[in-house]
Structure 1
Amino acid sequence: MAFQKPAATPLASDEARSFGALGLARRCARSPLRRVVAAQLARVILRLCFAGAVAAIVGRLVMSEEASLWLVLAAPLLLVLAAAAGADADRAQANAETRVATDLREAVGRRLVAMPARRVQSLPAGRLIVSAQRHPEAVAALVVGHQAATLMMAAGPLAAASALALVSWPSALTVLALTPVMIVFFVLLGETIRRRAQTQEEAFGYLAGQFADRLRALPTILANDALAGEEAKLTRRLTIYAARTMEVLRIAFLNAAAIDFFTSLSIAMLAVFLGLGHLGLATMPGFSHLELWRSMFILMIAPEYFSSFRRYAEQYHAKAEGLAGAAALDRLLDDQPLAELAAASRGGLRIEDLPPRGLVVITGPSGVGKTVLLRRLAGVDRASGRDDACAGFPAPVWVSTDSFVPSGTLEKAIAWNVENAPRPRVLWAAEEVGLLDDERLPGGLDARIDKDGANLSGGQRLRVAVARALLNERPVFADEPTAKLDPLTADKVRRALRGLAERGLVVTASHDAALAALADRVETLSGDPAQEDVQ
C-alpha cells in the first residue's frame, strides 16, 4: 500500500483560522473601558480635592484660625461626590466585564458552529465546557479591570504627585523615589505569577476533563461499584488544583504586602521629616517651616499616591489568569493549517513517505501539533487536507477517544464496519486489549453499550477502537492509544499495535516512551505549540 501526496488547497485568511480571544475581547472593551477609566480618574481627583479641603480646615482650626465657610461646605460635598464616583466606577467595571465576557462567549459559540463536526467532536468535553464558561470571564477581567488599573497606575500617582509638588516638591520627590523599586518588584513577580497561573489552568483543565469522562461513564461505574475508586482519583486531581491555586494566591498576597510596605514606609518617612521640621530639630528644604495644613495635606495625599499601585496589585493575578484563559481558548478554537503544515515539515513526515507496514510513532511535547498532523495524514475530516487521489486506497481505521461506538453489545461495537467478524475473532480481539477483564463492562461480548458509547470511559472507547483495528486489514492511525489506561492494560495495547504493525501500517501520535521504543520509525516534532494535546 502507498499514499499519494495531497494536492495544495487554497488557504483561508489567517484571521479566519486564528480565534484570537484576547484581540476580540480588547475590541469589545474599547468603549466601556473609556467610561471605567473616566469614572476612576474622577474619583481620584475628587479624593485629592477632599483631602485638600479637610487638611485646610483642620490646620486652620488647630492654629486657632477661622476656616472659610466654603471649605466647610465643600468638604462633605466632595466626599459624597468621590464616593459616588467610586461606586459608578465599580459599577461600570462590573458591567463592562459582563458585556465583554458575554460577547466573547457568543464568539466561542459562533466559532464552534463554523468548525467541522469532526473537529468539534475531537475537542475534550471538559476543557471545552471550562473554556466556554470560565475563560471569557477571566479574559474580560484582564482587558477591563487589569487594563483600567494599568492606566490608572500612570494617571493616579501623577495626579497625586502633582498635588504634593504644589505644597512641597521634596515630598513629591520622596514618593517618586520609591516608584522604580515597586516597578522592579512587579516585573520580578510578573513572570512567577504567570507561570503559576499557567500550571493552575492546566490542573483545572485536567480536572474538568477527568470529571467529564467519569460523568459519561457514571452508569458503568455505579453498576460495578467503582464509585469509591473514581472518587479518590477525582479527589487527587482536585487536591492538585487546590495546591496550584494556593500558589497563585501566595504570590498575589506577597504582591499586596509589598505595596503596603512601601506605602507605610513612605508615610513614615514623610511624617518623620515633617515632624522634625515642625519641632525645629532639623532644617530640610520643603519640610521645615511649613504651615500645619500643608503638612496634613502631604500625609493625606501620600496614601492616595500608592492606592493606584495597590489596585494594580489586586488586579495583577487577573492578568495572569486572563492570559492563561485566552491561550487556552485559542488552543481549543484555532484552526491553523499553516501550523499543521509547519509541524509536518519539522517532523519530515509526508504521506507518500509512509511505509506499507510497520509502526510509526509521532512524538513531541504537548501542543506541538502531533494530533493535527496525525489527523491530516489519516484524512479523518475535510479540514485535514487529504487529497482525493488517496480515495483508491482503503480508508484507515481511526483510533481515538472520539472513535465511533454504536449502541448494542460490546461485540457489535468492536465488529462495527468490519467485513468479516465472526464471534471467535471478536472474542480474541477483545481479549487482546483487556476488554474481557474490565470489571466495569460485565457480560463479556454481551455487555450493553449505550447510544454513542455514552456509558464508556475514554480508555474503554480507545480499547474498543484498537480491538476493531485488530479485525481489519486497513492502515491504522491512533491518537494517544495508551492514554487513560492503567499500566497493565496499556502494555496489552502496545503489544496489540506492535502485532498489527507486522502485517500493516500503524501510525500513532503519543507521549508514551514505551510505545516509541517498539516503533520502527519515530518522528519527533518540535517548535512552538500549535494545539494542546489532551491526555
Structure 2
Amino acid sequence: MRKRSAPPQYPDPASRGAFQALTAARRLAKPGLRGFLVLQLVRTALRLGFAATAAMAVGRLVMGGSVDPELLAAAMVLLAVSCLAGLAADRVQASAENAVSTGLRELAGKRLDEMPAKLLQSLPVGSVIVSMQRHPEQVAALVIGHRAATVMMAAGPLLAALSLCFVSWQAALLLVGLTPVMVLFFALVGNAIRRRADAQERAFGRLAGQFADRIRTLPTILANHAMVGEAAKLARRLEDYAGSTIGLLRIAFVNAGIIDFFASLSIALLAVFLGLGHLKLATIPGFSNLELWQSLFILMIAPEYFAPFRRFSEQYHAKAEGLAAAAALDRLLDAKPVAAKALPVLDRLALSLPAQGLVAIVGPSGSGKSTLLRRLAGLEQRGMSGADGLAGEEIAWVSTDSFVPEGTLAEAIAWNAGAMTRDRLEDAAGAIGLLDDALLPGGLDARLDKGGANLSGGQRLRIAVARAALAGRAVLADEPTAKLDRETAEAVRRTLLAMSRSRLVVVATHDRDLSAAADLTVDLTHDDAIEVAA
C-alpha cells in the first residue's frame, strides 16, 4: 500500500468577511473628497462674489453712473480665481477617483488571490474582466463625483438663496419653492435609471463573457467553420447592450431636461416680475422699487442656484452605474463554491492502486469520476476510507485545464519535465499528432499565447499527454480522449497504454475502448456500491 499524506487545506471562502466594495471605496475616497468639496465651495463663493460685483458695475454703467475701477478689477479677479478654483477642483476629482479605483482594484486582486484555485477557475472569465477593468472606475465616480454633487446640491443653492436674501428674500423664496418639485422628479426618474443601469450591467457582463469564451475557443470555431454563426450571436448581444445603453442615456437626458425646464421657468418668472416692477406696471413685494444692479444680481444668481441641481442630474447615472458595479463586485468576490454532490460511496471506498498499469474509472456523468481522481491526487479535502491515494507524490495531471505556459510548443511540452532533447520532444509530440495539427503551424516552434489562450481543449489535452509521456511520473488523466477525433483519440490511447507498462496511469473516462484496455476498472455506475474489477 502507498502511504497517503494528508490533503492540502484550502481557506474556506465562507470564513472570510464579506467583500463590500462600496464601504471600501468610501474609506478610500475620504481624503480626496474633502479637498474636492472645499474647492467646490470656494468656487461657488467666488462665482457669487463675481455676480454681485459684475451686477453693480453693469447697473451703474447702464444708469449712466460712474463705475469704480476697483469694482471692475474685483469682478475680473473673482472671475479668474473662480476659474482657477474650478480647474483645481477638476484635477483633484480626477486624482481622487483614480486613487479610489486603483485601491479598489488592488483590494479586489488580493481577494481573488485568496480564493481557492478551484473556486477561482469557476468564475466567469468575462465577469472577472469587467469587474477588474470597469467596475472600480464606476464605483469611484459614485463615491467622488456623485457624492460631491449631492453635497453641493444642498450647499450651493443654500449659499445662492442666502445671497439673494440680501437683496430680495421674496426672490429667494420663489426659487426655493420649486426645489421640492425637482426633488420629486429626481426620485421618479432615479428609479427608472437604476433599473436601466442594472439591465445595462447585466447585458455587458453577458457580452464580455461570451466574447471571452469565443476568443478562448477560436481555434475550434475556425476548425468547424462556425465563424459566421458565432459572429451573429455576438452581434445580437452587442445590439442588446447598445439598446440598454441608449435607454439609460434617454432617461438621463429627460432628467437633465427637467432641470433645464424648471431653471428656465424660474428665471422667466423672475424676469417678468422684475420687469413689471421696473416699469411700474405692478407692485410686487420684493420685486418693485429695486435698483437695476439689484435686479441684475437676482437674474445672475438664479442660474447659480440651479447649477448644482443640473450637475447632480448629470451625475445621477453615475450613481446608478456605481451601485450596479458595486453590487456586481460584491457578487463576484463573495462567490461561494457550488455545493458538491454528496458521494458517500466514495468516502467508504478502499482502493489499492498497483505500482504500474492502467486503471480506468468509469461511470455516468455526475457519478464522481473526476472527484475520485482529485481525491487520489490529494486535491479534495475529504479523503477515502482506506484508499491508496497519490497525495505527496509527484504526478502528471492531464485534463483540458492543464497549465500551458506562454512560448513555443516545445517549451509547453517540456515544462516541468526536466531537460529534454529536441528528438524526444518531437517523438512525444508526433505520437499524438501535434506536429501535424494545421492550427499549430511551425511544429515545435509554434507560438502559444499566455495560458494557452489560442489552444482548443483537445490541443491542451494532447500537450498534457505529451508532457506526461516525458515526465516519467504516475499519470492522472481526466477524460484524456474527450474532444478528439477518432484518429487522434486512438493515438492518445496508444500513448497512455505505453506509459502504463512502466508506471501507474489512472484515467477517468467515458471511452469504452480505453476502459476495455485497463488492467483494473473502478465502476461508479451504481450510487450504493463501487465495483472494482481486474
TM-score (structure 2 length as normaliser): 0.67
Alpha-carbon distance between aligned partners in 2 of 1:84 and 1:465, rounded to the nearest angstrom: 70
Could you tell me how far apart the structure 1 residues matched to 2:213 and 2:320 are? Answer: 28
Equivalent in the alignment of 1:504: 527
- Cα distance, 1:225 vs structure 2: 2.4
Amino acid in structure 1 at the alignment position of 2:182: M
Q: Is the 8 A contact 2:52 2:297 kept in 1?
A: yes
Q: Between Structure 1 and Structure 2, whose CA radius of gyration is higher?
A: 2
Aligned residue for 2:172? 172
Q: How does 1:391-430 map to 2 (within 5 A)?
A: 407-409=460-462, 417=476
Q: Counterpart of 1:445?
A: 489
CA contact (8 A) 1:411 1:446 kept: no
Q: Which has the higher contact order (CA 8 A, sep 6+)?
A: 1
Percent pairwise identity: 55
Q: Does the 8 A contact of 2:207 with 2:241 survive in 1?
A: yes
Q: Distance in 1 between matches of 2:373 and 2:192?
A: 41
Matching residue's letter, 1:273: F
Q: Which secondary structure does the structure 2 equivalent of 1:17 belong to?
A: coil
Structure 2: gaps spanning 5 or more residues: 1-8, 349-362, 390-398, 404-456, 467-474, 493-506, 516-520, 529-534
Residues 247-275 of structure 1: CA deviation (Å, up to 9, x unaligned): 11111111111111111011011111111
Structure 1 residue 418: Cα displacement: 6.9
Name the residue aligned to 1:217: 217
Aligned pairs for 1:38-117 (under 5 A) are 38-117=38-117
Cα deviations by residue, 1:163-202 (Å, 9 ceiling, x for unpaired): 1111101110111011001111111111111111111111
State the distance in 1 between where 2:142 and 2:191 align.
16
Structure 1 residues 418 and 67, CA, compared in 2 at 3 Å: closer, same or farther?
Answer: closer
Q: Quote the Cα distance in structure 2 between the aligned partners of 1:69 and 1:161.
A: 28
Structure 1 residues 15 and 277: alpha-carbon distance in aligned structure 2, compared to 1, 3 A threshold? farther
Write the distance in 2 (CA, Å) between the matches of 1:141 and 1:100.
9
* Equivalent residue pairs, number: 409
The question of 1:17 aligning with 2:61 is answered no
Deviation at 1:70, TM superposition (A): 2.0
Q: Report the equivalent of 1:263.
A: 263
- Which whole-Å deviations, capped at 9, do the CAs of 1:315-353 have from their partners, x for residues lacking one? 11111111111111111111569xx8xx99xxxx98879
The 1-side partners of 2:170 and 2:373 are apart by 72
* Unaligned residue ranges in structure 1 (runs of 5+): 1-8, 362-373, 449-463, 476-499, 506-535
> Are positions 1:272 and 2:278 aligned together?
no
State the shift of 1:113 in Å: 1.5
| Cα distance change on mapping 1:232 and 1:393 into 2, 3 Å | farther
Q: CA RMSD in A?
A: 4.1
Q: Which residue of 2 aligns with 1:142?
A: 142
Query: Once the 2 structures are TM-superposed, how far is the Cα of residue 468 of structure 1 from its aligned partner?
Result: 7.2
Task: Calculate the TM-score normalised by the size of structure 1.
Answer: 0.67
- Residue in 1 aligned with 2:122? 122
Which 10-residue stretch deviates more, 38-47 or 227-236?
Answer: 227-236
Q: Deviations over 1:62-118 (max 9, x none)?
A: 112222232111011111001001111111101111111111111111111122111
The superposition leaves residues 469-498 of structure 1 with CA deviations (integer Å, 9 ceiling, x where unpaired) of: 9979676xxxxxxxxxxxxxxxxxxxxxxx
In structure 2, C-alpha distance between the alignment counterparts of 1:378 and 1:152, rounded to whole Å: 61
1:388-428 Cα offsets, whole Å, 9 max, x none, are: 47656899xxxx99799684459979xx9579x9x9xx7xx
Could you say which residue in structure 2 is the equivalent of 1:185? 185
Query: Is the Cα–Cα contact under 8 Å of residues 277 and 283 in structure 1 kept in the other structure?
Result: yes
1:126 counterpart SS class: helix
Q: Which amino acid aligns with 1:295?
A: S
| Equivalent AA in structure 2 for residue 45 of structure 1 | A
* Aligned counterpart, 1:292: 292
Compare 24-33 and 400-409 and name the one that shifted more: 400-409
Describe the shift of the 1:34–1:246 C-alpha distance in structure 2 as closer, same or farther (beyond 3 A). same
Distance 2:489 2:125 in 1: 28
CA distance in 2, matches of 1:408, 1:297: 77
Contact 1:473/1:504 (8 A) holds in 2: no
Q: C-alpha displacement at 1:219, in angstroms?
A: 1.5
Q: What is residue 157 of structure 2 aligned with on the other side?
A: 157
**Matched residue type, 1:67:** V
Paired AA for residue 489 in structure 2 = L
Q: Secondary structure at the match of 2:166?
A: helix
Q: Distance in 2 between matches of 1:201 and 1:412?
A: 41
Shift of 1:447: 9.5
